[in-house]
Amino acid sequence: MMLQASRKAGTRGKATATKQAQRGSSNVFSMFEQAQIQEFKEAFSCIDQNRDGVICKSDLRETYSQLGKVSVPDEELDAMLQEGKGPINFTVFLTLFGEKLNGTDPEEAILSAFRMFDPSGQGVVNKDEFKQLLLTQADKFSPAEVEQMFALTPMDLAGNIDYKSLCYIITHGDEKEE
C-alpha cells in the first residue's frame, strides 16, 4: 500500500518507499493494544473521505467541514499533511500517533509520582495545593495551562483530583466512551 501511495504522489522512488515502509511499520503495531488499533482504524476511515486508503488535503477539508469548521486555511492543512513526510496511509497515520504518544511515561510511573502527594493513599490530591505546585515548581505551568488541564481532570465531590483516573487518561486517552 505504501508503494502504491508513493507512486500516486509521484514524489519518491521505489527503493525509498520500500525502506520507509520497512522502517515505519517495523514496530508501530506493537506500540498499541488491538482495541486501540481498531479505534485508530475507525478514525482513519472517518478522515479518509474518498476511501482511497490515503489521507489527502480534500479528505481533511471535508472532515473539518463535517465538524462545522468550513474555512480551514490551506497552510494549516498542508502543515498537517507534512507531518507524515509523504502520503499518509494507515501505517503512517498510526506511526504519527505512536510518535506523539511515545514521550508519555508508563502509567505506573505517573501514579508513583502522584502518590508522593497522597500520603494517606486515598487516590486523590488536593486541587488547590496541586495547582500551587504546578504554578511555582520545576517546569512551571501558566495559569491558562493549569485551567486547561483541570478542565479535563476528573475530580471528586470535594474538588480533589482523582489522579488514578487522570493517569489513565494521560496514558490511554479519555475514559469516556460514546
As a whole number of angstroms, the distance between CA 15 and CA 121 comes to 56
Compute how many other C-beta atoms are within 10 angstroms of the C-beta atom of residue 157: 5
Report the run of H or E that residue 101 belongs to, with start and end: helix 90-101
pLDDT band at residue 177 under the 50/70/90 scheme:
very low
As a whole number of angstroms, the distance between CA 19 and CA 22 comes to 5
Residue range 36-56: mean pLDDT, rounded: 94
Q: What is the pLDDT of residue 104?
A: 65
Chain-wide mean pLDDT for the chain? 81
Contacts of residue 141, Cβ cutoff 8 Å, sequence gap at least 6? 134, 135, 149
DSSP class per residue in 155-171: B-TTSEEEHHHHHHHHH
Q: What percent of the chain shows pLDDT beyond 90?
A: 47
Of 118 and 176, the structure prediction assigns the larger pLDDT to 118
3, 18 contact by CB (below 8 A): yes
The pTM of the full predicted model, rounded to 2 decimals, is 0.48
Q: What is the pLDDT of residue 11?
A: 40
Residue range 121-137: mean pLDDT, rounded: 92
- Does 152 have pLDDT greater than 60? yes
Q: What is the pLDDT of residue 23?
A: 42
Strand partners, 88: 55
Helical segments of the chain, H only: 2-9, 14-25, 34-47, 57-66, 74-82, 90-101, 107-115, 127-136, 143-152, 163-172
Least confident of 91-105, 117-131, 146-160: 91-105
Q: What is the pLDDT of residue 103?
A: 62
